[in-house]
Chain A
Amino acid sequence: MTSDPERARLDAAVKANDGFFTTFFVSPYSKYVARWAARRGLRPNQVTAASLALGALAAAAFADGRRWGLVAGALLLQVAFTTDCVDGQLARYTENFSDFGAWLDATFDRLKEYLVYAGLGIGAARAGAPVWALAGAALTLQTARHMVIFSWVPPIPPTPPERGARVGPAGWLRRMAVFPIGERFAAISLTAALFTPRTTFIVLLAWGGFAALWEIAGRARRVMA
């Protein structure tokens, strides 16, 4: 039995402005994991560390390079991503925020993603089809995109979107266009499980390249307005 204030508190623990994949495929159930973790007395930083450990396991499975390794890596990466959503929801649910927690969450997210790139690169090399140039290009593109985002100061400070404000199909498409972390991890899992690491890096480069152009064009338009 869940009382209404309890439900509202749980819903409020979900980040308001998340991507499409995270909002529709992860948050609907990860918030219950967050509540379970809260009842067990787990702390957000422990969940963040668990997510990195799961990401490292995914990378190790990808590094096997055979089909079962790629499939296991894809599944583990999704578990790691769910766990990554749980830490923030747990922090909001239990109102347990810290500067160190924010640093840890951000840092481990990046580390996890690039460990997975490394695992896929090792797996491809062990399967006899090395893709280091593509893996390196994907890592370069993703880091360069982040550096542009970090360096951007909007000419007019943006107004934060209202919680519960309706987002139309065009709005969700715009959020997907910038290739947020949920979409990236879903793309990695799908392409690695079904195809090869080469396909994964080509998709990361194509979608990430489009996202980079989209982000730069949008910002350029705003400074010229």
Chain B
Amino acid sequence: MIRDDGPIAIALARLGRGLPATALALAAFVPPLAAIALGRSHVLMLGAVVWVVFFGGVSAGGRRDRFDWVVPGLVRAGEYGLLVWMGLDGGFALAFALTLLHYDLVYRPRNLGAEPIVRWAGGWDCRLIVAWILLAIGAAPAGFFVLAALIALLWLGGSPLVQRQGDAA
């Protein structure tokens, strides 16, 4: 499954063992997106991040079921939605940079038969926590833009656009 879980989610996954993955992912990623309508306070955002990281992590261990093809879409919606909510222009930039890694997660194995590079980017769980900390210490939106630039560089550096020249030489 193309979930892009980080270390926190992987550690929490055992709590979800045996439970249905799709129901867990719906409960993890959808309610915090509704919290967006309640305002833009840091406490509300912390609550949403903790909810998504905890239950999203638990959902990583869920049992595969016949609707679990919606799960990767829910993980993306949860991560990007909270990032845009927290960072606005910086959040857009960060979500944009992440799309590069998340499409790489699909296209590189499919078209090039190679390992994706997204595993070097911390996972959605760690990124959400880092984003909230940046916001809380007053480092947004600059910190969001720096993070977006680093992720874009990681994508570019690991992409066949750069790597291929090495093969051809």
Are B112 and A110 in touch, CB under 8 angstroms?
A: no
- Contact partners of B47 in chain A: CB under 8 A: none
Chain A proximity mask over B106-134: 1 for CB below 8 Å, otherwise 0: 11100111000000000000000000000
A143 to chain B, nearest CB (A): 5
Please, how many angstroms separate the alpha-carbon atoms of A114 and B94 in the complex? 12
A221 to chain B, nearest CB (A): 11
Out of A102, A114, A132, A140, name the residue touching B111 (CB < 8 Å). Answer: A102
- Contact partners of B160 in chain A: CB under 8 A: 100, 103-104
Are A220 and B67 in touch, CB under 8 angstroms?
A: yes
Are A145 and B73 in touch, CB under 8 angstroms?
A: yes
**Given contacts A103-B108, A103-B160, A121-B92, is CB(A147)–CB(B80) below 8 Å?**
no
B67 to chain A, nearest CB (A): 7
Are B77 and A144 in touch, CB under 8 angstroms?
A: yes
Are A133 and B84 in touch, CB under 8 angstroms?
A: yes
- Contact partners of B81 in chain A: CB under 8 A: 136-137, 140
B138 to chain A, nearest CB (A): 19
Chain A contact residues: helix, strand, loop or mixed: helix
- Contact partners of A139 in chain B: CB under 8 A: 80, 84, 92, 95-96, 99
Interface size bucket, B side?
35 or more
B116 to chain A, nearest CB (A): 12
Say if the beta carbon of B150 comes within 8 Å of chain A: no
Chain B contact residues: helix, strand, loop or mixed: helix
Please, how many angstroms separate the alpha-carbon atoms of A18 and B143 in the complex? 41
**Given contacts A99-B111, A100-B160, A137-B84, is CB(A152)–CB(B92) below 8 Å?**
no
B155 to chain A, nearest CB (A): 10
Are A153 and B69 in touch, CB under 8 angstroms?
A: yes
A-B contact sample (19 more), CB < 8 A, given A102-B111, A148-B73, A151-B69: A99-B112, A103-B107, A107-B104, A118-B93, A132-B88, A133-B88, A136-B80, A139-B96, A140-B84, A145-B73, A146-B103, A146-B106, A147-B72, A147-B73, A147-B76, A147-B106, A148-B70, A151-B70, A151-B73
| 15 A-B residue pairs with CB within 8 Å | A106-B107, A132-B89, A133-B84, A136-B92, A140-B77, A140-B80, A140-B84, A143-B102, A144-B80, A147-B75, A147-B76, A147-B106, A151-B69, A216-B70, A223-B66
A interface residues, Cβ below 8 angstroms from B:
99-100, 102-104, 106-107, 110-111, 114, 117-118, 121, 125, 130, 132-133, 135-137, 139-141, 143-148, 150-153, 216, 219-220, 223-224
